[in-house]
Amino acid sequence: MINKIHTLGGYFHEYQKSYSNPEDFWEQQAECLYWRKRWDKVIDWNFEEPRINWFVGAKLNITESIFEKNLYTHGDNTAIIWEPNDADEQAISLTYRQLYVEVNKFANALKSLGVKKGDRVALYMPMVPELAIALLACARIGAIHSVIFAGFSAQSLADRINDAGAKVVLVSDGGYRGSKITPLKEIADEAIEQCPVVESVVVLKRTKCDIQMVGGRDIWWHDIIDGQDEYCPAEEMDAEDPLFILYTSGSTGKPKGILHTIGGYMVYTAYTFRNVFQYSRGDVYFCTADIGWITGHSYIVYGPLLNGAQTLMFEGIPTWPDAGRFWDIVDKHQVNQFYTAPTAIRSLLSLGNEYLAGKRLDSLKVLGTVGEPINEDAWHWYHDHVGKNRCPIVDTWWQTETGGVLISPLAGITPTKPSFATLPLPGVFPVIVDNEGKELKGNSVEGNLCIKFPWPGMARTIWGDHDRFRDTYFTSFKNYYFTGDGVRRDEDGYYRILGRVDDVINVSGHRLGTAEIENAINEHPLVNESAVVGYPHAIKGQGIYAFVVCPILSTGGEEGIRKSIKEGVSKIIGPIARPDLVQLVPGLPKTRSGKIMRRILRKIAEGDATNLGDISTLLDEDIVGKIIDSALVDV
């Protein structure tokens, strides 16, 4: 069993212990899991190269800590509860033993396609049990999984498949989303045309929509598992072998393939899941994220299953058939821990309290949020109306790169404050630095959030580009991991995350690089150049505001262009990146060296053009007035 903290005193004690001797601390946590061969050294690291190795020399397979270690004691307990998109369809539950059999069969199926240790497998799937099964099957045979969120476009999918060099793609015919079906196979077909490395495509039948099967390449999921042996020996892996690649956006360039390795990620997700959510055996835990994001990896699949937990997977969306769906699921499956994103809370709040009427919600013990700062109104609504003033809220701050939660209350233990992520978990040592890199010690300070010591769950590299990994995270502030977030430590030493300080915007909890969106806009034949900034949005947290230079108007006029720009971005990246507002401008505010002064555009987008600060370094100061004057009438 993973160690669990029970009291605030216990938290401070563990924190102190981890601070004075992180190696001993993490060694103790690692001992709760199953290793074939113990480590020779707990950690070997420096942040300059950077080189980060945890549990050096240890051998393991993460699926043995989930299954073999526990099958005798809780093989008949529920592992996954699956709630389909359509509430009238039967929910499914899989015990640990049943899940084990499915994982082994699919692992053998992958092997039959020639997938070996170290090979990459891409997944483009809806939230169905087979997705979790496939991740674990990859882990079983030492293949590296790379899940691509099923809302990304064919182009985004192709870029990721090619970057990862995935030779097998797992997809379903379609995916249900409320009343709609996303044609996943059709999108994947379009993507794979550009992916010469792909040898095989395994297709799950889910929506039964019409699809084309490509001869010699495509095979049905049900055919490939048919007759497979129910046991597949687990591949012996090194603690530092890769477990998965997950793409995320940065402030520049194309998305980065964040790489996580097996041993450290296992220890970190197992430990943080148990402690943050205060999970007890028998509880039903429901995280509403999609497995296409890191939250789904760490806190739907790995963290819960390593703890022998019952983890609920939901296929659908919060507003279908109506905005009471989450609460119906909580009551139906007697959910104890519920974990969602502030954007979902804000959207449900805005639809009114009538959707909570008649819902009992009395099974709930813990509420969680992740993905973006939660504003106080949303926090209070969640606390009062969903949690009925009984449930602590854990506002968990972390990132794709951190693998698991770094700053968060422990449920029911750490006193909370609305919109504060509160205190770092044991083994996590945050520092706040000013723009010159000077550490701001003590309380009541504000600056850039860095971490000064490695933790086991941190990313090890960017797939295929270690230099970019170093440059992005370890060069801004020497000897620190830089998170890209701004933070305030208040008078009580509590952390409040203020949002990104780089050119990343957080739309409905999804990270998007402004450069990525600009590149997509610039592909429009009539566009010369563009600049994208975030602006405050009541539901999404941040909305996407695009300033676009487009000297010649097409026959559709301004309105037509704005619409086609939005549609273009949707097609190139995916609907999540579609700009909310497009303003056609005569030029962009640039410095003499040609850099766009986004600070000015951010102010204009926020509707606060009164105090633009120093604009004397601009090449053409008049452009600012012209942008403000080109009043925004959006479609």
* Residue in 485, 502, 503, 516 binding ligand 6R9, rule: CB under 6 A: 485
Instruction: Report the b/e string of 568-580 with b at 16+ CB within 10 A.
Output: bbbebbbebbbbb
Do residues 19 and 431 lie in contact, with contact meaning Cβ atoms separated by under 8 Å? Answer: no
Cα–Cα distance measured from residue 434 to residue 604, given in angstroms and rounded to the nearest whole number: 26
Collapsing DSSP to helix, strand or coil, 6 comes out as: coil
Instruction: Report the b/e string of 366-381 with b at 16+ CB within 10 A.
Output: bbbbbbbbbbeebbeb
Q: Does 295 contact ligand 6R9 by CB under 6 A?
A: yes
* Residue in 156, 200, 248, 416 binding ligand 6R9, rule: CB under 6 A: 248
Written as one letter, the residue type at 66 is I
Q: Does 265 contact ligand 6R9 by CB under 6 A?
A: no
* Residue in 240, 290, 315, 395 binding ligand 6R9, rule: CB under 6 A: 395
x/- map, 361-380, ligand 6R9, by CB under 6 A: ---------xxxx-------
* Residue in 141, 291, 294, 406 binding ligand 6R9, rule: CB under 6 A: 294
x/- map, 406-425, ligand 6R9, by CB under 6 A: ---------------x----
If the CB atoms of residues 146 and 295 are measured against ligand 6R9, the closer one turns out to be: 295
Number of CB atoms found within 10 A of residue 328's CB: 16
**For tokens 């058939």, what's the residue?**
321
Contacts of 515 (CB under 8 A, 6+ apart): 251, 252, 253, 503
If the CB atoms of residues 236 and 446 are measured against ligand 6R9, the closer one turns out to be: 446
User: Binding segment for ligand 6R9 among 46-54, 303-311, 320-328, 397-405 (CB under 6 A)?
Assistant: 397-405
x/- map, 489-518, ligand 6R9, by CB under 6 A: --------x-xx-----x----x-------
Do residues 374 and 399 lie in contact, with contact meaning Cβ atoms separated by under 8 Å? Answer: no
* Residue in 400, 448, 508, 514 binding ligand 6R9, rule: CB under 6 A: 400
If the CB atoms of residues 235 and 395 are measured against ligand 6R9, the closer one turns out to be: 395
* Residue in 484, 513, 534, 579 binding ligand 6R9, rule: CB under 6 A: 484
* Residue in 65, 85, 104, 396 binding ligand 6R9, rule: CB under 6 A: 396
* Residue in 399, 414, 461, 542 binding ligand 6R9, rule: CB under 6 A: 399
Cα–Cα distance measured from residue 304 to residue 78, given in angstroms and rounded to the nearest whole number: 11
If the CB atoms of residues 108 and 311 are measured against ligand 6R9, the closer one turns out to be: 311
* C-alpha distance from residue 263 to each of 59, 62, 458 (Å): 8, 8, 11
Nearest C-alpha neighbor of 386 from the set 351, 359, 413: 359
Number of CB atoms found within 10 A of residue 235's CB: 18
If the CB atoms of residues 283 and 372 are measured against ligand 6R9, the closer one turns out to be: 372
Nearest C-alpha neighbor of 242 from the set 460, 27, 466: 460
Give the shortest CB-419-to-ligand 6R9 separation in angstroms. 8
If the CB atoms of residues 96 and 429 are measured against ligand 6R9, the closer one turns out to be: 429
Give the shortest CB-281-to-ligand 6R9 separation in angstroms. 26
User: Binding segment for ligand 6R9 among 262-270, 395-403, 582-590, 624-632 (CB under 6 A)?
Assistant: 395-403
If the CB atoms of residues 155 and 249 are measured against ligand 6R9, the closer one turns out to be: 249
Q: Is the peptide bond before 50 cis (omega within 30 degrees of 0)?
A: yes
How many chain residues touch ligand 6R9 (CB under 6 A)? 23
No. of helices (H) and no. of strands (E), the chain: 20, 30
Return the half-sphere exposure (C-beta side, CA atoms, 13 A cut-off) of residue 456. 32
Cα–Cα distance measured from residue 250 to residue 515, given in angstroms and rounded to the nearest whole number: 9
If the CB atoms of residues 153 and 400 are measured against ligand 6R9, the closer one turns out to be: 400
Interface residues toward ligand 6R9, by CB under 6 A: 248, 293-295, 370-373, 395-400, 421, 483-485, 497, 499-500, 506, 511
